[in-house]
Amino acid sequence: MTRIAEFSNWSYEHLEKSLLPAQGSITKRVASYAIQFFQFCCFLPLSGLSSVFSGLENWISPRASIDTPLVAFSKKPPPWSGAAPLPNIPWGTATAAFHDNGPLVHNKTNFGELYLKHHPERFDRESHFPNMWEHPERWVDRLVEIGAKTFRFSVPRDLIEPREGNFDAAALQKVIDLCTELQHRNIVPMVTLEHFSRPLYQTFETDEGIESFVNYATTVSERLYAAGVRKILTFNEVGVEPFQGYIMGEFPPYHKVDFEGAARFFTNMMKAHTKVYRALKQLHPDFEIGFSHDPIRFRYFHKMHPVWSPIERIVSKYLTDVNHTMVMTCLKTGNVQLKVPFFSNYSAQLDETPPFDFLGLQYYTDPCVKLSMFGGASITRVPNEKITAYCYRQYPQGLASAIEELSQFGKPLDLTEVGIDTGINKNDGDVERIAYFEKILQVVQKALDEGKNVRSLYFWTLIDNFDWHQGWDLPTHCPIRFGFYKFDPTRAELTPRPIVQWIKQKAGVL
């Protein structure tokens, strides 16, 4: 019976090899695709049968598997026992400049253009913003209030370097002053050099933009080092931006199903990261340099359905490849590889495996792909599972297997974002948010108990902020609210949510 499972695995490998884009003349490619289409038509029913028989085999004679304690925990977490203590590691919150300041402040960035040029209907110019650029004290004072010991924020490059190569000394000093004030208040800063938003002159679609980023990063990091900053993230969520910008078309540059474009973009980001790492380490060996990764692992909903199971497996595999597997393969081998039937046969070998001193692990969910004849949402949940306003599964225990997977590199892990959007709730009691974070704390403590090198935790986020491509509200007119503090964009009012009392009690600062 195990031959069935082996055939199922082989059939997906065969699909990939037979349906990759052909090289050569138009005639050759047309002929090749004709053969490939025939192979695909043969493959799909065979794969469907193999999925059914493999499921039956596992039901009749379950295959023994030995999971690590963390993976076993993620599959079957113990019953929630109520309040969990804060793990004995530094914790704080994370944010990004564009989120807090909005498109009018950052009007000469890729995301500023998204709202001002491409989707003005998603943005009310009369709305207010928390505006950390002009009012950093709003963050610093509230971080102190809740007992935070660390804070992650991003440098607004468009304001620091308004024209390529020309730095605004006064603007850069504002960032330095924030770092100084944080440390004066016993809060350790972690700085992200680029958090999705970038000036219009910067690109990673080709390798021509690499040196521009390296020059910016070294110039700013020298000043940050002098101000006492030691932890630097070059990029945020290195798999998410290629996915959202080149597969989904929701982020700039708004390409859809452009797998090769996604892989090229990621390749150039990794080249830039490596150059920045080497340059900064030469200047200051005690700099700690990394980048953040959100290991989005798509799961398929139907396990034994003769039609939907194989299709969902295919969709889940290739969505996971561009979000996560491509990143992991690059970190292990230095090879960027993205092979998607009909769409991509990309492979690029970097000069070296990307170096890093730590990884920023960011976790929100493991999406579940469910397809049907009648359409509807394709990314959903298992039955009776709660969802957020973004329609994400509320699946906090998935963080456990993510920690296990990223621990294989033997480097420290900083949990640079964990968060939940509960704007879908009809009341503001924060019951779901608190329950979610209680389970997150349970996972983190389990990881520490198992000896994982998890050294800090950052909640997303301190104050409600403006979304990357949805603004203040989803298309369903549901507010997007991740913050510990509620921000009203119509009145510019800041009020604490019940989660603030929860975290203050745990931190012992009531």
SS (H, E, C) 355-396: CCCEEEEEECCCCEECCCCCCCCCEECCCCCCECCCCCECCC
Structure tokens at 267: 């390749």
Confidence of residue 306 (pLDDT cuts 50, 70, 90): confident
Name 77's Cβ contacts closer than 8 Å, sequence gap at least 6. 397, 400, 439, 442, 443
Which range, of 100-114, 208-222, 238-252, 376-390, averages the lowest pLDDT? 376-390
What pLDDT shows up at residue 179?
99
What pLDDT shows up at residue 474?
74
Buried b (16+ CB within 10 A) or exposed e, 484-510: bbbbebeeeeeeebebbebbbebeeee
What pLDDT shows up at residue 480?
83
Per the CB < 8 A criterion, the answer to whether 483 and 461 are in contact is yes
What pLDDT shows up at residue 479?
79
Residue 366: C-alpha distances to residues 159, 295, 296, 392 (Å): 35, 8, 6, 8
Which of 490, 497, 410 has its CA nearest to residue 459? 497
Q: Determine the Cα–Cα distance for residues 407 and 411; give it in Å rounded to an integer.
A: 7
Secondary structure of residue 259 in the 3-state scheme: helix
Share of residues in the chain with pLDDT > 90 (%): 70
What pLDDT shows up at residue 370?
84
What pLDDT shows up at residue 3?
45
What pLDDT shows up at residue 2?
45
Q: Which amino acid is at 361?
A: L
Is the confidence at residue 464, as pLDDT, over 90?
yes
What pLDDT shows up at residue 6?
45
Section 35-42 average pLDDT? 54
Name 332's Cβ contacts closer than 8 Å, sequence gap at least 6. 353
Per the CB < 8 A criterion, the answer to whether 127 and 472 are in contact is yes
What pLDDT shows up at residue 133?
98
Q: Would you tell me how many other CB atoms lie within 10 Å of the CB of residue 418?
A: 22
Q: How far is CA 107 from the centre of its chain?
A: 24
pLDDT, tens digit, 9 for 90 and up, residues 138-190: 999 999 999 999 999 999 999 999 999 999 999 999 999 999 999 999 999 99
Confidence of residue 63 (pLDDT cuts 50, 70, 90): low
Confidence of residue 57 (pLDDT cuts 50, 70, 90): low
Which range, of 197-206, 312-321, 367-376, 459-468, averages the lowest pLDDT? 367-376
Confidence of residue 73 (pLDDT cuts 50, 70, 90): confident
What pLDDT shows up at residue 61?
56
Section 334-355 average pLDDT? 96
Section 256-273 average pLDDT? 98
Task: Please give the residue that has the higher pLDDT: either 91 or 382.
Answer: 91
Q: What count of Cα atoms within 13 Å lies in the side-chain half-sphere of residue 398?
A: 21
Is the confidence at residue 4, as pLDDT, over 50?
no
Is the confidence at residue 417, as pLDDT, over 50?
yes
Structure tokens at 493: 């009012």
Residue 157, classified by CB atoms within 10 Å of its CB into exposed (0-12), middle (13-18) or buried (19+), is: buried
Section 288-305 average pLDDT? 92
Task: Please give the residue that has the higher pLDDT: either 329 or 510.
Answer: 329
What pLDDT shows up at residue 358?
99
Strand 368-369, strand 299-300: pairing? parallel
Which range, of 105-109, 130-134, 282-286, 375-379, averages the lowest pLDDT? 375-379
Section 59-66 average pLDDT? 60
What pLDDT shows up at residue 376?
54
Structure tokens at 358: 């730590």
What pLDDT shows up at residue 375?
59
Is the confidence at residue 383, as pLDDT, over 60?
yes
Is the confidence at residue 137, as pLDDT, over 50?
yes
Query: Please, where are the H alpha helices in 284-338?
Result: 308-320, 326-333
Is the confidence at residue 55, as pLDDT, over 60?
no
Give 388-454 as a DSSP string: -TT--B--TTHHHHHHHHHGGG-S-EEEEEEE---TT-SS---HHHHHHHHHHHHHHHHHHHTT--E
What pLDDT shows up at residue 84?
82
Which of 459, 462, 491 has its CA nearest to residue 127? 491
Section 49-76 average pLDDT? 67
Which of 292, 143, 283 has its CA nearest to residue 223? 283
Most confident of 48-62, 83-97, 475-489: 83-97
Confidence of residue 67 (pLDDT cuts 50, 70, 90): confident
What pLDDT shows up at residue 5?
44
Q: Would you tell me how many other CB atoms lie within 10 Å of the CB of residue 256?
A: 11
